[in-house]
Amino acid sequence: MLVVSIGLAIFLRYFFLFLFGGDTRQLPQYAGQAGLEFGLLSITPKSILTTSIGIILIILATLWLLKTRMGKASRAVSDNPALASASGIDVQKVIRAVWVLGAALATYAGVIITINQGVSFLMGQDMLLLIFAAVTLGGLGTANGALVGSLIIGLFVQLSTLFIPTELKYVGALIILIIILIIRPQGILGKKERIG
């Protein structure tokens, strides 16, 4: 599955290059939107909308994982597919559902990036490693680990440019990832028994 999805990613990336060309394009209606002032904060209407939809989606995804039968089943499959199958869970169905939902959430992330930074065929590749880093940092297999990890990675990447050259900011984030794995391999929210 891992290698198949990598193949699909390579195909799609060059398919978009083929169709749209290699430039970064902006959405002109949203490119330079004026910010609304709230005291010390300035925020654009597009950010308010995309962020609130994003927060709603995160809450829904968390609830799905923690409360619904399907969410519990998906965590069981991740822990031990054979045992889950033996206890009557349709493993294939769970895997399908998780892939569809995961892809849908990733697509919404793509929409946010497009509205804020424009669209280009390489935009996913730059993000991919940071996403890996965020998930591992928060703890693989924890419901809100990805959220905590993303907050830390995102803040670290932007704030670290105060101390290190801007072009090395991603390097800093990846080094943090490796250090975290040495000190606390289960991630910030992870449980120890999952690291095997």
Partner 1 sequence: MDFLFITQQTLSATIGVNTIIFALAAIGLNMHFGYTGLLNFGQAGFLAIGAYSVAVPVVSFGIPLWIAFLIGIFNSIIFALLLGIPTLRLRADYLAIVTIAAAEIVRQIARSATFNEWLGGSDGITGKFGKEFFDLNPFKSGLDTPILRFNANDLWVVIVGWSLVAVITFVMWIMVNSPWGRLMRAIREDEDAVRSLGKNVYLYKMQSLIIGGVIGSIGGFVYALSRQSVQPDNYGTALTFFAYTVLILGGAARVFSPVVGAMIFWFLIVFIEQILRQGVSNNLIPDWLIGVNQVGQIRFMLMGLGLMALMIFRPQGIFGDKKELALDAKA
Site residues (vs partner 1, CB under 8 A): 1-4, 6-15, 17-18, 95, 125, 129, 132-133, 136, 140, 165, 167-168, 170-171, 174-175, 177-178, 181-182, 185, 194-196
Closer of 61 and 134 to partner 1 (Cβ) = 134
Candidates 195, 93, 190; CA nearest to 137 is 190
Q: What is the DSSP letter of 25?
A: B
Candidates 48, 66, 69, 47; CA nearest to 58 is 66
Closer of 84 and 115 to partner 1 (Cβ) = 84
Cα 114 to the center of its chain, rounded Å = 15
Closer of 12 and 43 to partner 1 (Cβ) = 12
Closer of 71 and 190 to partner 1 (Cβ) = 190
Q: Least distance in Å: CB of 69 to partner 1?
A: 22
Q: Least distance in Å: CB of 102 to partner 1?
A: 16
Using DSSP's 3-state secondary structure scheme, residue 88 falls into: coil
d(C-alpha 144, C-alpha 75), whole Å: 13
